[in-house]
Structure 1
Amino acid sequence: MSQLAAARYGKDNIRLYKVHRNQDGMQSVVEMTVCILLEGDIETSYTKADNSVVVATDTQKQTTYILAKQNPVTPPELFAAILGDHFIKTYPHIHAANVSIIQKRWTRMTVDGKPHPHSFYRDSEETRDVSCRAVEGKGLSIHSGINNLLVLKSTGSAFYGFHRDEYTQLPETQDRILSTAVKSGWLWDTFPTLEDVKRQKGKFDEAWEQVRTITMGTFARDSSASVQNTMYKMCDQILAAVPGVQAVDYSLPNKHYFEIDLSWHKGLKNTGKDAEVYAPQSDPNGLIECTVTRKGGKAKL
């Protein structure tokens, strides 16, 4: 015999765009992709073909659009909390709602030296990622993040003193190119209610700015002995700068740029201190991850 051990379902890839029109003619825009997954007393839809417990995924999509019209969608942490809270309060048999939001970048154009009131451009593929888990009677757990922030520095990174054995071929280096696509996240202390999220909504944008500033500043200034050590310094500074965050995580792929030996061509020097031309590599690549909590705290990657 079998039993249903866990189940959740919902609507993924809900594309949402909202424009804010101010009376002075200045407009702002937000574009995001939303995913909703619901949990609760839904097992009979799986085991007995009983669809009476199913809140249709199209209903979830339409709910997203209606709530976006009736509420602010920024910061995304707030909108995710509004959605999650709605589902666990509207449907008695739904006990948990998981909402994920990926917010894309639209940056205001500067035209003739002035911010243009209604024109924007995509300046990178970086996204602002948010997930919220709303659980009946237990509050809202919110995880904020940055993804695909591509950074590179042409010097100031080393990698040496690592373990060597019969399988090791990599040479040590005191100077190398360091590049990565930053994926970082920070877990907030649990919010007891939606009203608590609303009261503290201002800190979400502030934290996002602080994390980006710390990430890029540390990346640029640190004389990096390893990606591991540099990312730990980032986490440590974020925890010191952002009260209310209990854990910070990073996932950094090491995007390699290899020297090209051109000595075969008339003794042309292009390695070591003479290296100027490199071959960017796609894969394989190193991948380094960590989670750093406040002392005594626990969190999973």
Structure 2
Amino acid sequence: MPRLSAARYGKDNVRVFKREKDGDVETVTELTVCCLLEGKIEESYTVADNSPVVATDSIKNTIFIKAKEYPVNPIELFASMLGQHFLDKYPHITVANVDIIKHKWSRMVVDGKPHPHSFHRDGDEKRTVEARVTREGIDIKSSLKNLLVLKSTGSMFYGYVQDEFTTLKETWDRILSTDVDATWAWKTFPNVAAVTEQAAAFDKAFDDARTITFKTFAEENSPSVQATMYKMCEQILDAAPATASVSYALPNKHYFEVDLAWHKGVQNTGKDAEVYAPQSGPNGLIKCEVTRD
């Protein structure tokens, strides 16, 4: 006998832009919001009864209205407040899942001075949040995504399994590049008030995670992506005491030496390597999650 075991619905890809003024200085925030609701909505699926359905268009309108009424930064707080609204407004809704992407706009520097109202997009880096708001508490995961980094030396890889399937050569000097996807999960918050109390901690954790990622990546003579990402996780847990776990997903973007010896004996491998071929795929993908004891 079939039964509906899980269901959620809502509005995805809601683009929100908020402009705020402080005297002559303006600040802009651009978000992409997904809000999916769960609760006593089975009848809309099983017997075509739409009476419990809050229309997805109404969800979209609510996102815009609450972006006007609520602070949109930090996004962890906005996601929590938005999710709590749906639980308060509709008694039959038991869970609001709010995912937000914050698109990066950086203030222009003109003639050595920050411009009061002009911005530029410097890369694809994004700050994101996943909030699951229930009547028992609020679970939040914050992330740094699409941060593309590369170093031209200071990376090694050796000592791995060697068998009949192995062609990769050990190296003590290689290019290392990856697209950073780092996530830190916060300990469960009992309510929005508790999230509000931690508002400053969200921005600090993001800044610390970014700084730790840069510093560790750049300074460590990395024996492997695995070892380097573990160190990053440890440091973020230390920097953000209210977090419960940290995870990284790092694709290894390969740059392979090009053997040019066929052309007049040109040496371009090992210590003589200068010209490389960037690879679009396949690529290594390394993941880990580090939690507190």
By the TM > 0.5 criterion, same fold? yes
Deviations 1:39-85 (A, max 9, x none): 00000000010101001100100000000001110000010001111
Q: CA RMSD in A?
A: 0.6
1:161 alignment partner in structure 2: 159
**Match for 2:146: what amino acid?**
N
1:210 alignment partner in structure 2: 208
1:200: Cα distance to partner? 1.4
2:11 alignment partner in structure 1: 11
Q: Does 1:60 align with 2:59?
A: yes
Identity of aligned residues (%): 61
Q: Hey, what's the Cα distance between the residues in 1 that align with 2:92 and 2:108?
A: 47
State the SS of the aligned residue for 1:181.
strand
Q: Hey, what's the Cα distance between the residues in 2 that align with 1:152 and 1:218?
A: 12
Q: Does 1:51 align with 2:50?
A: yes
Q: What TM-score results when the alignment is normalised by the length of structure 2?
A: 0.99
Unaligned runs of 5+ in 2: none
Structure 1 segments, 4+ long, off by >4 Å, are none
Q: Hey, what's the Cα distance between the residues in 2 that align with 1:187 and 1:219?
A: 22
2:274 alignment partner in structure 1: 276
2:258 alignment partner in structure 1: 260
Q: Does 1:88 align with 2:125?
A: no
Q: Hey, what's the Cα distance between the residues in 1 that align with 2:147 and 2:124?
A: 8
State the SS of the aligned residue for 2:152.
strand
Q: Hey, what's the Cα distance between the residues in 2 that align with 1:173 and 1:88?
A: 55
Q: Hey, what's the Cα distance between the residues in 1 that align with 2:124 and 2:239?
A: 26
Q: Does 1:114 align with 2:113?
A: yes
2:38 alignment partner in structure 1: 39
Q: What TM-score results when the alignment is normalised by the length of structure 1?
A: 0.97
1:292 alignment partner in structure 2: 290
State the SS of the aligned residue for 1:125.
coil
Q: Hey, what's the Cα distance between the residues in 2 that align with 1:188 and 1:166?
A: 44
**Match for 1:145: what amino acid?**
S
1:293: Cα distance to partner? 0.3
1:2: Cα distance to partner? 1.0
State the SS of the aligned residue for 2:51.
helix
**Match for 2:86: what amino acid?**
F
Task: State which of 191, 197, 209 in structure 2 corresponds to 1:199.
Answer: 197
State the SS of the aligned residue for 2:153.
strand
**Match for 1:238: what amino acid?**
I
Deviations 1:84-112 (A, max 9, x none): 11111110000001000000000000111
1:20 alignment partner in structure 2: 20
Task: State which of 133, 141, 145 in structure 1 corresponds to 2:139.
Answer: 141
